[in-house]
Structure 1
């Protein structure tokens, strides 16, 4: 094939795939091995990204190119992967979903990919390979054309490798709280993985989520309450006053009719969230419902006053309109 004959399909391939191609695709287009080697020479116009994966340009890869390169590397040799045959998973999916604890997609140092269990592909450079224990789960095509696992599946794949208990707890809580996955779906994914439920950080997260905990600071508050010997509250219940919606406090002790609110500055950075918090506080006050308030900083540095106030209120309850309050557990 002439140089002019090569140019158009290569340009088309580069435009469609953000300049990320495989050697198999180049061979299919009729690019001679010598041409590939010449263009990959030091200082040449192309660069090797991963085994079998080439970028048809020089310079630093974009975040999208790294994701596409990881999928190309993990795909079947000799042909392009079909839709859903290889999926992005792990932190790449969580960052794309906008979970704060996952960081920005452009800052990822590793890319997790999910492949069929029988395939033999090893971790390489920035690519971390996960294998499906059974059939490949259903994925979806993102707006950028890449195929991705669901958020629940991404958390499940991440669980065995995520040794930081605090971050894994935060990622799971954020995913449920921001409605990127249903609680039941996440618990099913975590509990279905062989051996994962025996991991201490996963077992704790599963227990907290099932109890209604939806943030790291709520998990810390739960540990403090338990350590102080106080009764277990309901976490994030929907409170009803005379059958009508009242509020969703962070924690609520129904026997004493006492609520706990943890005011997070991060949550109040958005004006709409701040307004909702004020409206909720006004409803508590108007209903005569006793509320103990704290902040994450106070909870971590000096929890004694908080625990003392809770202990006193729980010992002297029930308070306020306790006969008119009903509740539904967090979903």
Structure 2
């Protein structure tokens, strides 16, 4: 395009932009040189620099949508909105923030956080969802990421409860997403999800059930009390394979924070093992990082269980 043409037809610039936000590269492609960009973005000029390499085609306060568009353009092709900006794109307008706009990019890409944009590299990029012309993460990912960034329990509770109450995401979906996410900032959303789930024993248990469903082993029951032949309570393991007398325990550190908690865990396992129950222990991070190893361990112990007499215990009730 001949240099200067854009100056006589301002619709060219507007048409090349996304909601009035445009990259310097896009401006160059329609003949707007660096000098013209600099003059128009100078104090009192009709444009402004929104982010490095990103121009806003007016000089008023940027809207939340313009900031979100700018964040995606700044973080480049594979970036998606998440957390509060993502929730706003999904229609949760009251969670829209005039503060940070969070974006996710693939782990092998490099882009630094700047100004109001917080860039998070992740090995677990979500599916891209188009919402109002914006690329955003799935709603469940946005909700959990927003919860991880919330510093007050009441705020986290209000946020996640609204997502669930609208019926767009279930408590189980939130729990699985949280179990698969990074551990940074998960304390508050973990507590809220357990509340919403009516006192679920552990967020990691939902991920454990999903992993187990791919194992090909016989059906497992979860959180059912076991008793001995005299009807005495033995334990309530996270998972139980009744045909061989195998207990599966998910070792969540949050239940071992005190000496008393740790002692209770040891005594419970000792009771089971004394009765001949095979106890398989799994750490929550293994469910996320190496589910194949978890399944292999369960399979090996199940086979071991078939090679010895079944212990004289039963499901209670």
Q: Which whole-Å deviations, capped at 9, do the CAs of 1:47-88 have from their partners, x for residues lacking one?
A: 11111111122222222211111111111xxxxx2xxx2111
Counterpart residue number, 1:165: 153
Tell me by how many angstroms 1:6 deviates.
5.5
**Aligned in 2, Cα 1:7/1:138: closer, same or farther, shift over 3 Å?**
farther
1:73 counterpart = 2:74? yes
Structure 1: unaligned runs, 5 residues or longer: 76-80, 214-331
CA distance in 2, matches of 1:174, 1:210: 14
Counterpart residue number, 1:14: 14
Indicate which of 184, 204, 211 corresponds to 2:191: 204
Indicate which of 126, 132, 151 corresponds to 2:122: 132
Q: Which whole-Å deviations, capped at 9, do the CAs of 1:146-170 have from their partners, x for residues lacking one?
A: 1111221012223432221221122
**Aligned in 2, Cα 1:142/1:52: closer, same or farther, shift over 3 Å?**
same
Query: Are the counterparts in 1 of residues 147 and 159 from structure 2 also a CA contact under 8 Å?
Result: no
Q: Aligned with 2:192: secondary structure?
A: helix
How does the TM-score come out when normalised to structure 1?
A: 0.54
Indicate which of 113, 117, 131 corresponds to 1:123: 113
Query: Are the counterparts in 2 of residues 92 and 108 from structure 1 also a CA contact under 8 Å?
Result: no
Aligned runs of 1:76-115 on 2, under 5 Å? 81=77, 85-99=78-92, 103=94, 105=96, 108-115=98-105
Structure 2: unaligned runs, 5 residues or longer: 201-317
Query: Are the counterparts in 2 of residues 45 and 57 from structure 1 also a CA contact under 8 Å?
Result: yes
Query: Are the counterparts in 2 of residues 88 and 112 from structure 1 also a CA contact under 8 Å?
Result: yes
Query: Are the counterparts in 2 of residues 88 and 114 from structure 1 also a CA contact under 8 Å?
Result: yes
Query: Are the counterparts in 1 of residues 3 and 31 from structure 2 also a CA contact under 8 Å?
Result: no
How does the TM-score come out when normalised to structure 2?
A: 0.56
CA distance in 2, matches of 1:137, 1:7: 43
Aligned residues: 198
Counterpart residue number, 1:33: 34
Counterpart residue number, 1:291: none
Tell me by how many angstroms 1:190 deviates.
0.5
Tell me by how many angstroms 1:7 deviates.
4.7
Indicate which of 153, 168, 172 corresponds to 1:180: 168
Query: Are the counterparts in 1 of residues 178 and 186 from structure 2 also a CA contact under 8 Å?
Result: no
**Aligned in 2, Cα 1:96/1:142: closer, same or farther, shift over 3 Å?**
closer
Aligned runs of 1:260-299 on 2, under 5 Å? none
RMSD over aligned CA atoms reads 2.5
1:192 counterpart = 2:180? yes
Query: Are the counterparts in 1 of residues 85 and 95 from structure 2 also a CA contact under 8 Å?
Result: no
CA distance in 1, matches of 2:119, 2:88: 18
